Structure 1
């Protein structure tokens, strides 16, 4: 199944390997550069079915650090378009982008909040910092929330202009959307807080706004944290219920990660440790899902698909170590996979 095509709207992926979005902290003023061109292009040359560009801020305050990628102006679009054009013209890979806002977890470096003179005032649904030592974030008004929804919509428009095949909305890892989802970080009493329906409202408004910019030639994914590993916090049952709603709002795949919203949460990490969350969301909500989390071997990835625990395999650290995991896996499984014709002499069949 790893090398079986799969279709989302009109977008067909040649295989189920996905390069997971991973911040590279290598931009100036949010601009992609030669490093990103080589970084993403090399994974496409390795046969990866889908390349996901890292968390990309929909406004300057949406970045995690001063060196994170952005898509709030046309200059940024032009640099991203170069990467997209290379992937489309020199491989069989599709390419997506993760639209993000860091919220209260922004204005940092090396996981520490930087002085406001070097960074910016962070924002959040409630006046609760990620860590007690950090500045109290600005509490968003309802009108400001509407403005952020528009930021995501405009970012989606720019992403389409750059030529991306898939847009992923980042609702995981304790960033702004996740902050709204969790009753531990969202204690609002207006229409964006309190009940489950109110806490998911911000995400659904973003999904609907982004979908207004899309047609059948651009698919829509949403990344969530299946659980945040905290008592009375966001949990897997919430994720299943959210996924059911996202399906009704024309989301094509739910990319299931975990954690990130509660400082000091205890997480047991082992090979494939997040796969059960993907499985529960997939089978509980009847949606396509992506599995991520220490998936390092071809056999492991194939087993996840065979057991119907996910539809796509998102690979992070392993694809940093080995940009050619997809094509090398095809050698092992005796399957077809894109391999640059320039490298044909290195292709093996045994």
Structure 2
């Protein structure tokens, strides 16, 4: 029996298998509002047969957007637009849907990737970015404003309000974005955090604001809603954030009721040197899983079903997330189920698509039904 296709629970949230669709920015929102693109994009992924779908990084305030096209959940219009997309998904799929809430910090106010990704110019709608310290992400970029006490309180409150909106939308889980060089990661990493107050310096102080944000969000939504965190387990820069510090952070999160940890890496510095290869981040997830009593999601160039099965079977992680691979092949879980001798949920409109030799692939599908 395939372990990848065995059920798993994130607290009270039951998943039909251990395949997670990672949050992937689409940079296609309008004033933070989900658009037709999101209906198409998330709609097809909702029919994939995966165990959990996580909506892309969603800004908790306008200043926290990476680009002008970022999805947001900070206005009533944002909430209503996303409700339209979710209603369509719910009509046709039973997949649990989570959302990743984030703030770009000093990496905000940028062009979309296919337009170069560089910082916006004032004439292009640039805005003043914020960060733990007034240090730009890369040389030549405009420096951010260091968050003062009022700014920290505003950001924390923005995370809470967005979480409450997520709950009101009926989303199944929340993932806080503390990875890829965005604001919460910036507080964690000594590369971006040079503060001399209670939120900078020692590991304990650098973890303080991200932990406070987690606590505030956890307290703001019902216990039935899992709240997890995505981290960059290492900056891949000497003297930066590393896996030992990530373990300490994960342990702090676990003590505060964190439901899962999603292990990625990098993003805080252009000086990073990432040894990219198949499953290159899985050993990071494995180390964290060995140190905490909390479900762990591995991600990073996991592209083949046998590869994903081996990761779960070896106990390196509890779940496996797909990103680019499932954009390229939205029905990847169907292929995985076929290769691993498992069953996958598919919409009845597609039941007749399965090959004759795989007639049990879709479980109770009735191949001959008109």
Instruction: Tell me the TM-score normalised to structure 2 length.
Output: 0.92
Q: 1:135 aligns with which of 135, 142, 161?
A: 142
Q: 1:34 aligns with which of 15, 33, 36?
A: 36
Unaligned runs of 5+ in 2: 359-370
Cα distance in 2 between the residues matched to 1:226 and 1:176: 15
User: Is the CA contact 2:306–2:340 (under 8 Å) kept in the aligned structure 1?
Assistant: no
The residue that corresponds to 1:325 in the other structure is: 332
Q: 2:117 aligns with which of 107, 111, 125?
A: 111
Q: 1:167 aligns with which of 174, 184, 199?
A: 174
Which string of whole-angstrom CA distances, capped at 9 and with x for unpartnered residues, describes residues 301-328 of structure 1?
0000001111111100110001111122
Q: 1:78 aligns with which of 80, 86, 96?
A: 80
Unaligned runs of 5+ in 1: none
Cα distance in 1 between the residues matched to 2:208 and 2:153: 11
- Are residue 189 (structure 1) and residue 191 (structure 2) matched? no
**Other structure's SS at 1:4 match:** coil
Q: 2:265 aligns with which of 247, 258, 264?
A: 258
Cα distance in 2 between the residues matched to 1:86 and 1:333: 30
Instruction: Tell me the TM-score normalised to structure 1 length.
Output: 0.98
RMSD value, Cα: 1.1
- In the TM superposition, residue 270 of structure 1 has moved relative to its aligned partner by 0.3
Cα distance in 1 between the residues matched to 2:117 and 2:89: 32
Cα distance in 1 between the residues matched to 2:288 and 2:90: 31
Cα distance in 1 between the residues matched to 2:352 and 2:212: 51
- Are residue 291 (structure 1) and residue 293 (structure 2) matched? no
- In the TM superposition, residue 122 of structure 1 has moved relative to its aligned partner by 0.6
- In the TM superposition, residue 79 of structure 1 has moved relative to its aligned partner by 1.5
**Other structure's SS at 1:177 match:** helix
- Are residue 223 (structure 1) and residue 230 (structure 2) matched? yes
Cα distance in 1 between the residues matched to 2:224 and 2:76: 21
Cα distance in 2 between the residues matched to 1:15 and 1:87: 18
Deviates more, 1:189-198 or 1:110-119: 110-119
Cα distance in 2 between the residues matched to 1:159 and 1:116: 32
Aligned residues: 350
- In the TM superposition, residue 184 of structure 1 has moved relative to its aligned partner by 1.4
User: Is the CA contact 1:88–1:94 (under 8 Å) kept in the aligned structure 2?
Assistant: no
- In the TM superposition, residue 84 of structure 1 has moved relative to its aligned partner by 2.1
**Other structure's SS at 2:224 match:** coil
